[in-house]
Amino acid sequence: MQLITSLPTIVHAYWLLAKWDWRISNQPYKKWKKYLDKNLSVSNTSNQFDAYPQHKYLQQAILFAKVTRHHYRPMNCLRRCLALQELLLSKNMPSTLHIGVRFSSAKPTNTQGNNDKTLEAHSWLTVNGFIINDSKEVVNTYTEITNKSQFFQASISSL
């Protein structure tokens, strides 16, 4: 599979990663929560996902993953997904953001028993149900949250 390696796309991807990292790190949640539930789409909603074959999405996701690996800051999955989703949208390639959670065994400490669990979250993008930036094996270990902004609002208010 030949990668689309245009310099403007690489620069744009790098900038979007920095933008989303700053936004999530420095802005209040209420300023960026709208991006969690809204499936960003192009203005023409009829057959919007059919405009590009899946391999075009995969090409962009692979290039984006390479840019992410060389970014000046490590990016978590939410930052990567929101930046990639915006990059794809700039090319009129809409995608759907998914966020899931799971309980995982925590490493035992002096105050914890071996049965303590920790809540983990993960995010990924799909196009017509096809995962473009993760593996099905990983995604299947998470239970998807259907109302993301409500979940995050409840999580933040409990802190």
Angle between helices 77-90 and 7-26 (to 10 degrees): 130
Residue 108 has pLDDT above 60, yes or no: no
Residue 157 has pLDDT above 50, yes or no: yes
Sequence ranges of the domains in the chain:
7-157
pTM comes to 0.78
Contact 32, 86 (CB under 8 A): no
Which band of pLDDT confidence, cut at 50, 70 and 90, is reported for residue 96?
Answer: very high
Q: What is the largest CA-CA distance in the chain?
A: 57
Q: In the block, which residue shows the tokens 């989303």?
A: 20
Per-residue pLDDT tens digits for 4-41: 568 889 999 999 999 999 999 999 988 888 887 665 44
More confident site: 38 or 121: 121
Average pLDDT over the chain, rounded to whole? 81
Could you tell me what percentage of the chain is helix, strand and coil, using 3-state DSSP and rounding each to the nearest 5? 50, 15, 35
Residue 49 has pLDDT above 70, yes or no: no
Average pLDDT over residues 74-81: 94
